[in-house]
Amino acid sequence: MKPIDLFEETYGAVIVNKVRSGLTMLGIVIGIASVIAMVAIGQGAQGSIQSSIQSIGSNLIIIMPGASRSIGSTVSAGRGSAETLTPDDAAAIAALPNVAAVAQEVSGRYQVLSNGQNTNTTILGTTSAYPAVRNVQVDQGNFITDADVAVSNRVAVIGPTVLQDLFGSTTATATPAMALDATIRIKGVDFKVVGVTLSKGGSGFNNQDDMIYVPLSAAQHYLLGTSAYLTEVDVEASSEGAMAGVQAAITNLLLSRHNISDPTQADFNVLNQADIVAAASSVTNTFTMLLASIAGISLLVGGIGIMNMMLTTVTERTREIGLRKAIGAKKKDITLQFLSEAVMLTFTGGAAGIVLGWLAAFLVTYFSGTATSVSLGSVILAFGVSAAIGIIFGYYPARRAAGLSPIEALRYE
């Protein structure tokens, strides 16, 4: 039997029972569509988290105080909770080779008043290196200068979210010009707005749009009331290749400055972007796997539907099978005929499912704004899986058909 004839037979048989074929296919369509959509949502989430981590800065190494803990818990709880990092530490780090820039940070959340409106946001005391190290750009005005830090000037640079919260209203969008030179009151102390940063998008993690930057020294004097400790030191390495060396050098330097001989007892954490990306990826990977396996179950149900229909078909066409055998069809011919019927159903269903899944992912992005990403890999995988389901679930019915004796089949009423 030639492949073209096999295809013709198969097509004819599938098309004869349009409704039944269609309904059976629907199981596969839904299964494949949900796999495609779920994986797209998972990968989209992963992509957007990764890109928001990349936007924090390039070649960035972050040093935080706190006992050595797992990355996840340090990010949320360790911040500022321990008092081990000092401006002197930061200065010593800046002197290390391959360190391009060092920004010091202290932070806290305070109520901010201006223009008769108020908000509660993060106040970040930092130094002039911050925009370069953390990838922040000033839209209008200028960032905090070394001179501001030196003399504790009460100046502030605000993020676009803060700008809108303090100077805008529900009906009007605030422009940077409205804020420049205005006075805002943080924890009862007046600061003059000297700059507004450009929006970075992004949310969660540390949202750099919803922040007020003030000189490090001003934050320490007027807001925190302490000048000894930092909540974070950001270091930019001179190149990506130098990251590992710089990270090791910082660890050694701080261990010796803090008089700690056992590295496991370190009172600080040195993280690089790759660590953060890896931690976030493992979370989103788990999330993607979970979604994909839920979708996989619906695919399995679709496969069982295929098997059920094929078994019915074989029973209904017992006489036809007997006749085909009588006129010279071999076991292989009959097996192939029914197997290719199953594969045609799942493959067509798979193709429709890919289109539907793609559409679903598109609609999710369109209406909710959540990033989704349909990768070529998942499309190829979906095709492969749908063909495999046809073969796996079609095999038993096909073998059953091929195993019928021609006599029994011809006698069958």
Assess contact for 98 and 245: CB atoms under 8 A: yes
Among 325, 339, 351, 378, the residue binding other proteins under the rule CB under 8 A is 325
410 binds other proteins (CB under 8 A): yes
Assess contact for 140 and 177: CB atoms under 8 A: yes
Print the binding letters for residues 269-308 with other proteins: x by CB under 8 A, - otherwise.
----------------------------------------
312 binds other proteins (CB under 8 A): no
# binding residues, other proteins (CB under 8 A): 25
- Range 209-248, binding other proteins (CB under 8 A): none
Q: How far is it, in rounded angstroms, from Cα 230 to Cα 84?
A: 8
330 binds other proteins (CB under 8 A): yes
406 binds other proteins (CB under 8 A): yes
381 binds other proteins (CB under 8 A): no
Among 328, 367, 369, 376, the residue binding other proteins under the rule CB under 8 A is 328
Among 183, 297, 319, 377, the residue binding other proteins under the rule CB under 8 A is 319
Of the candidate spans 4-12, 92-100, 191-199, 283-291, the one that interacts with other proteins by CB under 8 A turns out to be 4-12
333 binds other proteins (CB under 8 A): yes
Assess contact for 136 and 197: CB atoms under 8 A: yes
Residue placing its CB nearer to other proteins in the complex, 9 or 83:
9
* DSSP 8-state class, residue 357: H
Among 7, 11, 12, 172, the residue binding other proteins under the rule CB under 8 A is 12
Of the candidate spans 2-10, 266-274, 308-316, 383-391, the one that interacts with other proteins by CB under 8 A turns out to be 2-10
Place of tokens 């818990």: 73
Q: Taking the complex as a whole, how short is the minimal distance between the CB of residue 361 and other proteins, in angstroms?
A: 39
Residue placing its CB nearer to other proteins in the complex, 233 or 329:
329
400 binds other proteins (CB under 8 A): no
b/e map 210-229, b = 16+ CB within 10 Å: bbbbbbbbbbbbbbbeeeeb
State the maximum Cα–Cα separation within the chain, in Å, rounded to a whole number. 104
* DSSP 8-state class, residue 199: P
Residue placing its CB nearer to other proteins in the complex, 69 or 330:
330
Q: What is the CA radius of gyration of the chain?
A: 32
Place of tokens 């779920």: 38
Among 79, 154, 187, 331, the residue binding other proteins under the rule CB under 8 A is 331
Phi, psi of 329 (to 5 degrees): -75, 135
* Amino acid at position 28, single letter: I
Q: Taking the complex as a whole, how short is the minimal distance between the CB of residue 335 and other proteins, in angstroms?
A: 11
376 binds other proteins (CB under 8 A): no
Indicate left, alpha or beta for 135 from its phi (over 0: left) and psi (-120 to 50: alpha): left
Residue placing its CB nearer to other proteins in the complex, 6 or 189:
6
Residue placing its CB nearer to other proteins in the complex, 12 or 384:
12
Residue 377, token pair as written in the block? 């890999």
User: Could you tell me which of 392, 386, 399 has the C-alpha nearest to residue 28?
Assistant: 386
Q: Taking the complex as a whole, how short is the minimal distance between the CB of residue 306 and other proteins, in angstroms?
A: 22
Q: How far is it, in rounded angstroms, from Cα 54 to Cα 52?
A: 5
323 binds other proteins (CB under 8 A): yes
* Amino acid at position 97, single letter: P
Q: What is the DSSP string of 392-410?
A: HHHHHHHHHHHHS-HHHHH
Q: How far is it, in rounded angstroms, from Cα 3 to Cα 25?
A: 23
Q: Taking the complex as a whole, how short is the minimal distance between the CB of residue 311 and other proteins, in angstroms?
A: 20
19 binds other proteins (CB under 8 A): no
Of the candidate spans 61-69, 163-171, 176-184, 314-322, the one that interacts with other proteins by CB under 8 A turns out to be 314-322
SS3 9: helix
Phi, psi of 237 (to 5 degrees): -80, 155
> Can you give the binding site for other proteins, defined by CB under 8 A?
1-2, 4-5, 9, 12, 16, 319-320, 322-333, 405-407, 410
